[in-house]
Amino acid sequence: MEAAEGSSPDSRSDRSADAATAGLEGLREAVSAGAGRLPDAELVAASDVVERARERLRLSGAHTVVALAGATGSGKSSLFNSLIGLDLAAVGVKRPTTSWATACAWDPGGATELLEWLGVPARHQVSRLSMLDATREDAELQGLVLLDLPDHDSTEVAHHLEVDRLVLYADLVVWVLDPQKYADAALHDRYLRRLSGHGDVMFAVLNQVDRLTDADRDIALVDARRLLDDDGLAGIPLLATSVVRGDGLVDLRRVLVDRLHAKEAARARVGADVSAAAARLAALAGTEAAAGTDAAVAG
């Protein structure tokens, strides 16, 4: 992401922070204005967005929380291990066979409070830089907090409840699609379609493409793109990856590095959450209220 002429990354960041703060204040005012007029459950949900966003903005702006979300058998955990360059089984970190996510933090010094807020137990955390001497690749990923979520289609209720929670908390969500199950209604109805306003803070990978012929891979990519477009997520990045062969791993890493260096993911996520909540309140309040709410949220 290049700075506009006459604009530095720091100045862009300051403007983004100001916009996020103004948006939060606008949503808070909309919640107050809706008291007694809009359903209590909707007001509570919007208030939760405000509190979650305030906490995220208060916590480390030097770290970006990226969640890998996927179904059983999608190869999500293998992709996680590939990205961090460690086999967590070999270093004694329990894999998420329980309802907990696993987290790996690069430059974890300032991430302690952030990880506590995310609710990831210490026994499910690993520090990339404390295990090995920092490499150039580590330096590129400084500030990354990578989460390997439980399977969103697990039969264990606690597993998908944890996914539901952390999908809300992550700055950026990477949807790891299985070549056989990428069209599952559970994924599209429960998550992707509901997050149609969050395209700027999500992207997808069609993983395990080594299991497909080149022709079938291309067909699957076209079909997956069509489904994402139907979900309201037209234009989000969609990569083809394989841990076995290495397909797309360099591209995936580059996307992550670019998002990290831009340092905009957390504020972009806050903005998307606030906009979605404001739109929901506006729709309930009517057209006239919608215009006022949008103006308040835009600051």
Structural domain count, the chain = 2
Residue 73 lies in a domain: yes
Residue 96 lies in a domain: yes
Residue 245 lies in a domain: yes
What span, in angstroms and rounded, lies between the C-alpha atoms of 186 and 33?
35
| Same domain as 183, residue 230 | yes
Q: Find how far residue 64's CA is from the centre of its chain.
A: 9
What span, in angstroms and rounded, lies between the C-alpha atoms of 217 and 248?
13
| Same domain as 172, residue 25 | no
| Same domain as 153, residue 179 | yes
Q: pLDDT of the chain along its 299 residues, tens only?
A: 444 445 455 555 555 667 778 888 999 999 999 999 999 999 999 999 999 999 999 998 889 999 999 999 999 999 999 998 877 644 445 544 556 899 999 876 779 999 999 999 999 998 876 545 556 667 889 899 999 999 999 888 899 899 999 999 999 999 999 999 999 999 999 999 999 999 999 999 999 999 999 999 999 999 999 999 999 999 999 999 999 999 999 999 999 999 998 889 999 999 999 999 999 999 998 844 334 344 443 33
Q: What is the dihedral of CA 178, 181, 187, 188, to 10 degrees?
A: 110
Q: Is 105 helix (H, G, I), strand (E, B) or coil?
A: strand
Tokens for 205, please give them: 């990978």
DSSP class of residue 99? S
Name the residue among 128, 159, 170, 188 with its Cα closest to residue 269. Answer: 170
| Same domain as 270, residue 241 | no
**Residue 278 structural domain:** 16-58+266-298
| Same domain as 176, residue 34 | no
Taking the model in full, what pTM does it have?
A: 0.86
Tell me the CA distances in angstroms from 104 to 138, 203, 206, 270, one per residue in order: 12, 20, 22, 22
| Same domain as 226, residue 130 | yes
What span, in angstroms and rounded, lies between the C-alpha atoms of 145 and 64?
6
At residue 289, the pLDDT reads 39
Q: Identify whether the C-beta of residue 207 lies closer than 8 Å to the C-beta of residue 236.
A: no
| Same domain as 272, residue 227 | no
| Same domain as 200, residue 228 | yes
Measured in degrees and rounded to the nearest 5, phi and psi for residue 65 equal -90, 115
Q: Find how far residue 149's CA is from the centre of its chain.
A: 11
At residue 127, the pLDDT reads 82
Sign for the pseudo-dihedral over CA of 76, 79, 80, 86? positive
Residue 9 lies in a domain: no
Q: Which residues of 96-117 are buried (b: 16+ CB within 10 A; e: fewer)?
A: beeebbbbbbbbbeebeebbeb
| Same domain as 246, residue 112 | yes
Q: Any idea what the CATH number is for the domain that residue 147 is in?
A: 3.40.50.300
DSSP class of residue 63? -
What span, in angstroms and rounded, lies between the C-alpha atoms of 11 and 48?
29
Name the residue among 274, 253, 258 with its Cα closest to residue 56. Answer: 274
Measured in degrees and rounded to the nearest 5, phi and psi for residue 188 equal -75, -40
**Across the strands, what pairs with 172?**
66
